[in-house]
Amino acid sequence: MKFTEILPLEHIRQGLVCSSKKRVFETIDRIMAPILQAQGQEGEHYCFDCLFNREKLGNSGLGNGVAMPKGRLPFGDKPIAVFLQLETPVDYETSDHRDVDLILALLIPAGICADFSQSILPELAERLTDKNLCKQLRSAQSAEEIQQIFEYADHLVTENSESDDAQD
């Protein structure tokens, strides 16, 4: 799955200031709330509660200053994502003890959660922690630039899979 398939420009924030992991989740909740309400999800702060409760089960830090919190949606057929580039890293209580400044939050519909978690999440996590990609995302100066970086990363994956197919 491509980053750009689940991450529209209006869900990308660059240079945000958040003081804690809780504030990160609150910011993601504010971004997601109109989308969830439009799809019929009632309940204030649904996204925050979803991410916060899932985080209690295990830290979503991936290492290298990157986190990928996730939660389950009771409806839909396509994941919804938000990407945050923080101006200053926050303490995320990660296993590598590194503060986090790049966050890709995912809400995954319950109907595809098992398949998504088995095949797509590990691939996205691996791609998201690529040192070159992280360096580019950290130096981006706008949401548009971040989107272009993800588009290029998606293009490289497509190119590589096509060349792998040609070799088979």
CA separation for the pair 28, 158 (Å, rounded) = 29
- Which residues form the domain of 105? 3-165
pLDDT (tens digit, 9 = 90+) per residue, 98-153?
999 999 999 998 888 888 888 888 999 999 999 999 999 999 999 999 999 999 99
**Residue 23 vs residue 42, higher pLDDT:** 23
**Residue 42 confidence (pLDDT):** 60
| pLDDT at residue 166 greater than cutoff 60 | no
Confidence of residue 59 (pLDDT cuts 50, 70, 90): very high
**Residue 163 confidence (pLDDT):** 56
What mean pLDDT comes out for the span 71-86? 90
CA separation for the pair 90, 167 (Å, rounded) = 44
CA separation for the pair 103, 13 (Å, rounded) = 10
Say which amino acid occupies 56: K
Domain count, the chain: 1
Alpha carbon of residue 60 to chain centroid? 10
Q: What is the CATH number of the domain that holds 150?
A: 3.40.930.10
- Residues in CB range of 154: below 8 A, 6 or more apart: 2, 3, 4
* Reported pTM: 0.91
CA separation for the pair 103, 117 (Å, rounded) = 18
